[in-house]
Amino acid sequence: MKLTLGRFRIRVCATATVVALGALAAHGQIFSSAQSRSVLKSDPVAFLYPAQVTVPVGKPSPVELHFRVAQGLHINSHTPSDDYLIPTTFSIPDGAGARLESANYPAGTMISLPIDPKTRLSVYTGEFAITARIVAAAGSHAVEATLRYQACDQNQCLPHKTITVPVQVTGK
C-alpha cells in the first residue's frame, strides 16, 4: 500500500497505514482535498435543533442537542477506541450568559474499516444527540457553543473541525 504525505510516497503494510493515518489525522495533517470536496457539499456534521431553550435561572437544566453526520461519513465518539483519535466534544465559551455544567454523550457504535478489519472504532453516524446540563443567568443569551469532531469515511479522515452551535438560551 502507498501512503502519500505531502511530496513523500511511502510503501507500508495495511496495519501500519491505519496507525500512521490515525496519528496524522488526529493532528489534522492528512486528507485528500479533491476527494473531500467530492464527498462533501457542506459541513460533515450539522447542528439540527433546538434553536432556543428556556431554563430556570441558576439551576442545571438538561438540554438535548441534536446533530447529523453526513451520509457516508462517521465521526469519533466522545470516547474513541484509541488515544490518538480525536474525541467529539461539546463546549460553551466563558462569558456566554450560560455555562456547561456537564454533557452526556451517546455511546458510540463500534465499526471496522475494510483497510483493517481487526481494528474496532467507536463512532457516531447519522443522527445523534448530546444532553448538555446548562446553567443560565437571568435574561436572553445568544450562546455560540461549539462541537469539535473529526470526520472520516471508509478511506480517509478530514482535519478535525469545530462548528458553531448557536442556541438562544433564556434564563427565567
For residue range 60-102, list pLDDT tens digits in order: 999 999 999 999 999 999 999 888 899 999 999 999 999 999 9
Domain annotation covers residue 162: yes
The answer to whether residue 113 scores a pLDDT higher than 80 is yes
Domain annotation covers residue 25: no
Domain annotation covers residue 99: yes
pLDDT cut 70: percent of the chain above it: 76
Digit-coded pLDDT (tens) for 139-152: 999 999 999 999 99
The answer to whether residue 24 scores a pLDDT higher than 60 is no
Q: Report in angstroms the alpha-carbon separations of 4 from 7, 152, 156, 166.
A: 7, 17, 12, 38
Domain annotation covers residue 10: no
Q: For 112-133, what is the mean pLDDT?
A: 93
Radius of gyration, alpha carbons of the chain: 18
> What's the grid cell of residue 74?
462517521
Domain annotation covers residue 13: no
- Domain carrying residue 117: 32-171
Domain count, the chain: 1
Given pLDDT bands bounded at 50, 70 and 90, which one contains residue 41? low
The DSSP code for 105 is P
Domain annotation covers residue 122: yes
Domain annotation covers residue 141: yes
Domain annotation covers residue 82: yes
Tell me how far apart the alpha carbons of residues 126 and 2 are, in angstroms, rounded to a whole number: 31
Digit-coded pLDDT (tens) for 4-13: 444 344 433 3
Identify the residue with better confidence: 82 or 136.
136
Q: What is the CATH number of the domain that holds 70?
A: 2.60.40.1250
Spatial CB neighbours of 109, under 8 Å, sequence gap ≥ 6: 77, 122, 123, 124, 125
Residue in 63, 61, 105 with CA at minimum distance from that of residue 87: 105
Given pLDDT bands bounded at 50, 70 and 90, which one contains residue 115? confident
